[in-house]
Structure 1
Amino acid sequence: MAAVIQAQAFTKDQCTAGLRAAVNILEKWQATTEQACNILRISRSTHVRAKLPNDAWSVSLDADQMQRISFILNIHAALRLLFDNPENVYGFPSMANHNEFFNGRSPLEVMAQGDMISLYESFRRIDSLRGAQW
């Protein structure tokens, strides 16, 4: 008998709350609309709606989109642990980074390529700073 693996289903409320949090963080990182849409794999109209304070609006997202949101939230958490001041917490992702993986590009530029590997590797490398592994 073959085992069936079922992806975790998220409610519309969970999707909406997560998306709004991620969009808010990306906005504080000074991501453009295009960068935010590429990172989260959402449309421009969804991005605009997520920024509006409309309690009646909700959205369904797939597992890939929720994974992307999770990376943004976890990068933000790592930056908050690393830095005491908001200028670095919110400025670091848009600063040029000369470590090997980023090669002079900002983490935001790398994440905005839109592929999951770039997002994951950006998260992994930023998160590793907490342990001084860089």
Structure 2
Amino acid sequence: MLALERVNTVPEAFRADPVTQDEAAAIFRAALNLFGKWELTDDQAATLLDMPVRSFRRWKAEGPGRISRDGRARLSNLMGIHKALRIIFTEPQRGYAWIRTGNSAFAGASALDVMLGGELTDIMRVRRYLDAERGGW
């Protein structure tokens, strides 16, 4: 059986430093605060993080376990959405409310509806939209 070697095509100078587990745990704690501001249920939060609700509740109570690469990407994108909303809206409450408001860019669905599709790409879609709206491209 042949062992496949991972080929890195991105030059070293342009590679992002990987998020450490300690950093991911800090981002998770920040995401818990954000989920509270967004008024998410535990089921919704678990869907955004692609984990069973029982695991989410345990992590919420005891602190996160090992956060996967996908989990770190989800957390990073959620924080990017939060940052973009804080830039776009001078009043934080308007940004928190925007998550649940229907939007023509999403065919009348809310950003939360889109993100609850459960895929990382659903969260990334909302982030890309907000980054474009705030001129982040």
TM-score, normalised by the number of residues in structure 2? 0.78
Q: Give the alignment of 1:8-19 within 5 angstroms.
A: 10-19=19-28
SS across alignment from 2:134: helix
Greater relative contact order (Cα < 8 A, sep 6+): 1
In structure 2, list runs of 5 or more residues that go unmatched: 9-16
Tell me the equivalent position of 1:110: 114
> What is the distance in 2 between the residues matched to 1:59 and 1:95?
33
> Mean Cα displacement is larger for which, 84-93 or 37-46?
37-46
Max Rg structure: 2
C-alpha displacement at 1:10, in angstroms?
Answer: 4.8
Tell me the equivalent position of 1:88: 94
SS across alignment from 1:124: helix
One of 88, 103, 107 as aligned partner of 1:97: 103
TM-score, normalised by the number of residues in structure 1? 0.80
Q: CA RMSD in A?
A: 2.5
In structure 1, list runs of 5 or more residues that go unmatched: none
C-alpha displacement at 1:39, in angstroms?
Answer: 1.0
C-alpha displacement at 1:58, in angstroms?
Answer: 4.1
The count of residues paired between Structure 1 and Structure 2 equals 126
Tell me the equivalent position of 1:123: 127
Q: 1:132 to 1:14 in 2, by over 3 A?
A: closer
Identity within the alignment, %: 31
AA aligned opposite 2:103? N
C-alpha displacement at 1:126, in angstroms?
Answer: 1.4
Superposed CA deviations along residues 8-61 of structure 1, whole A, max 9, x for unmatched, are 765442232111211221221122222211111122233224444x5xx44211
> What is the distance in 2 between the residues matched to 1:104 and 1:4?
42
> What is the distance in 2 between the residues matched to 1:9 and 1:122?
23
